[in-house]
Structure 1
Amino acid sequence: MSQALAFALDEQQSDVITADTIKVFNRHLQLDALRGQALLAVDTRQHAFRCEAQCSAATIFSMSEQRPALALCTLAMLWGMFCLYQHRRQMIEGLYGGLALLDGRIVDAKGNVVKLTPMQQQLMEMFFRSPNHSLSKTEICDTLWPKKDDASETLYTLIRRLKPIIEAHSDLKIEADRGKAYELKIK
């Protein structure tokens, strides 16, 4: 636009803008979309002319060389949405009774992390990694408290405190098999 203004002022050989100057200015504009959309203004502080485009940002963007960048940005956004969709689908597929083990954390069906103590977290991971969601008492005690001779009371306390949390966030319950095993079941 500045180049078109310089050509128009040279052609008119005047520092005064007239209707003819505007016609010559529009004729020298190289972009068709700007013809009739560009304004000439006088900057009173610097005693000079300046040009401004009176068109939408979309028009300016379409005239620029940003289309490849826009295409890459759009592809990146679509890829991101696809990855989120796949992540969500995998999480939903991994749900068992409304809970899932996702990235080492127990999450509910909405993707919210269920707040558990470290021992509760370890026990829930063991339940989810077990093929039938069942664990023997000795298996749990040996894994969680390997140096403790009799961890029955500690296990009982852990299960007692974990049950209400699991039941509040899912359709699961922990059932005991006469103190020999524990199973994570759907209610």
Structure 2
Amino acid sequence: MKQRYAVVVLFALIIASSMVSLTSYKTTENLVTEDVNQALAKALDEQQSDVISADTIQVFNSHLQIEGLRGNAVLAVDTKKGFRPRPQVSTATILSLSDQRPSMILWSMVLLWSLFCLYQHRRLSALGFYGGLALQDGRFVNAKGCEVKLTPMQLQLMEMLWQSPTHQLSKADICDALWPKKPDASETLYTLIRRLKPIIEEHSDLKIESDRGKSYGLTIR
């Protein structure tokens, strides 16, 4: 698998995990809100007063239908509504009541996939891979070990770029090495690069970039 696809899968798993967790939390939050509101309404109706007392809290808790809320939901005074009591439930309580098992499964997949990506990166680096390609025994192979078919001239150009410390060479150096007897090989080089680009991009995460036609180099997409 190409490196960029592995990263895409990783981010997709992270987004999916976050969305599942958030959806579960929001669903539970709505259920909690409905439960505490109905419990408060019944408590106030029974005592026929808006004043919060120890009895109010006890009756309020007795009317809560979600067992996990009993003792965790509190009553506060809302001064914006004439000192009326208002139920409050902490984020931690709602989170503990929500079903986070699907999310945890997805987060476990995120962790495993991250470890797999790290292992692949280190393995390929150890084998001399750069951007999903490696030069082995005078031929280029992709991450699957399959040879990338190149013409002799394409192979020679790729070897030159590959063996350069910066993976970049000037146009003049390339032309002098490939066509030493040709006065102006600009068009020939342009044609060679144009035909080589799609092959490299198809089999790796590399691309050949030009610096205003003055130099060419291999970079990771």
Task: Return the TM-score normalized by structure 1.
Answer: 0.51
The residue aligned with 2:215 is 181
Higher-strand-fraction structure: 1
Count matched residues.
99
Distance in 2, Cα, partners of 1:127 & 1:110: 22
1:174 is paired with a residue whose SS is strand
Could you tell me which residue of structure 2 aligns to residue 100 of structure 1? 134
Q: Between the two proteins, what is the percent identity of the paired residues? A: 74
Equivalent-residue separation in structure 1 for 2:124 and 2:217 (angstroms): 24
- Which residue number corresponds to residue 101 of structure 2? none
1:89-132 deviation line (CA, Å, top 9, x unaligned): 68853101000111110111111110000000000100110001
Q: Pick from 166, 170, 174: which aligns with 2:200?
A: 166
Q: CA offset at residue 133 of structure 1?
A: 0.3
Higher helix share: 2
Q: Distance in 1 between matches of 2:183 and 2:154?
A: 20
Q: Which residue, 113, 120, 138 being the options, matches 2:147? A: 113
Counterpart AA for 1:143: A
Higher-Rg member (1/2): 1
SS at match of 2:174: helix
Alignment partner of 1:147 out of 165, 181, 201 = 181
Q: Larger relative CO (CA 8 A, sep 6+): 1 or 2?
A: 2
Distance in 2 separating the partners of 1:138 and 1:112: 32
Listed one character per residue, the Cα deviations across residues 22-58 of structure 1 (whole Å, up to 9, x for unaligned) are xxxxxxxxxxxxxxxxxxxxxxxxxxxxxxxxxxxxx
TM-score, structure 2 normalization:
0.43
Q: Is the 8 A contact 2:124 2:143 kept in 1?
A: no
Gaps of 5+ in 2: 1-122
Structure 1: gaps (5+ residues): 1-88
Counterparts of 2:219 and 2:156 in 1: how far apart (Å)? 17
After the TM superposition, which parts of structure 1 deviate over 6 Å for at least 4 consecutive aligned residues?
none
